[in-house]
Structure 1
Amino acid sequence: MERGSSRLRRLVHEVAKFGAVGGAGLLVNLGVFNLVRHVTDLQVVRASVIATVVAIAFNYVGFRYFTYRDRDRSRRSKELTLFLLFSVVGLVIENGILYAATYGFGWDSPIQSNVFKFLGIGVATLFRFWSYRTWVFRALPAREAVADAESFLEAEAKEKPRTRVVS
């Protein structure tokens, strides 16, 4: 039971770190989106794609050097290729929702665009979290084993009462 609890703690910690980077990436994404819309006369979805690409670059740095810094680094080119592949799928999900709202339903006011951009980011984030942790930033098997062993030993130490020798 303790091992499951340790895994749950690690997952909660990972989700929190992913969320911190993702939250900063969300601010970058929405900030660039609104800046591009305000400064240029680009269509909504094109402005959104630009913002998403900037956020993807920002997030890669955050995920690699903060959230998943302890993960396998030996296959960096494969990691980057997979990151970009899954990020493009997330880009399509995110901007597909915005596209449907804008061109399918005619919801294209600045508020509506931001709401559907935010909704698209949320749906794409679920996909990205699963794909990044499963395929891109893979855990080192030895680290997982060591972490499990350490949590097991900690649990054992807590369960066994210490005997004190009095002389």
Structure 2
Amino acid sequence: MPAHPPAGSRVRPAWRLLLKELGAFGVVGAVCFVIDLGLFQLLYTSAGLGAVTAKLVSTLVSMTAAFLGHRFWSFSHRARTGLRREYPLFAVVNGVTLGLGLAIVAFVRYPLGQEHALVLQAANVVSIGIGSVVRYLAYRRWVFPAIAPST
């Protein structure tokens, strides 16, 4: 019996775990995307909030839902480092991507002078896409780190 399992037998479970993680991240992201878009649209077109304020509120609500989904599903197999550590880091990562989203929406709204809800929604969608990539990489690296192998 070999001392180490064949390389192929180690790669398959790693790929499966990555696919599970990406799939769950995608589902949580899709649900939070709908929350973000729907709430942004409602706040901007019906509640009378400005575009940037609507973006701020919609992102904060979807961020809280995302933390719960990612902690208890997407990254449930990773190390548990405690809510006191995870949530503030999660908030910082989301704060950075929120700032990016606000900057994109504000740029389209003010310097470009766009007021139409569909144009602002397109800017919102672009900001969410860019933010999603940044968030996934940051969550894996800092918020929900891999379990350290035992020696």
What band does the TM-score fall into relative to the shorter chain?
A: 0.7 to 0.9
Letter in 2 for 1:13: K
**Which structure's CA Rg is the greater one?**
1
Q: Give the equivalent residue in structure 2 for 1:131.
A: 138
Q: Give the equivalent residue in structure 2 for 1:154.
A: none
Structure 2 residue runs without a partner (length 5+): 1-6
Letter in 2 for 1:46: T
Aligned residues: 143
CA deviation string 1:125-152 (max 9, x = no partner): 110000011100112224xx7xxxxxxx
Q: TM-score, normalization: structure 2?
A: 0.87
How far 1:102 sits from its partner (Å)? 1.2
Query: Within 2, Cα distance between the matches of 1:56 and 1:15?
Result: 18
Q: Give the equivalent residue in structure 1 for 2:128.
A: 121
Structure 1 residue runs without a partner (length 5+): 146-167
Q: TM-score, normalization: structure 1?
A: 0.79
What's the % identity of the aligned pairs?
27
Runs of 4+ in 1 over 6 A off after TM superposition: none
Q: Give the equivalent residue in structure 1 for 2:62.
A: 55
The answer to whether residue 42 in structure 2 is matched with residue 26 in structure 1 is no
The answer to whether residue 96 in structure 2 is matched with residue 89 in structure 1 is yes
Query: Within 1, Cα distance between the matches of 2:96 and 2:115?
Result: 23
How far 1:5 sits from its partner (Å)? 4.1
Q: Give the equivalent residue in structure 2 for 1:72.
A: 79
- Preserved contact between residue 104 and residue 124 of structure 2 (Cα < 8 Å): yes
SS across alignment from 1:4: helix
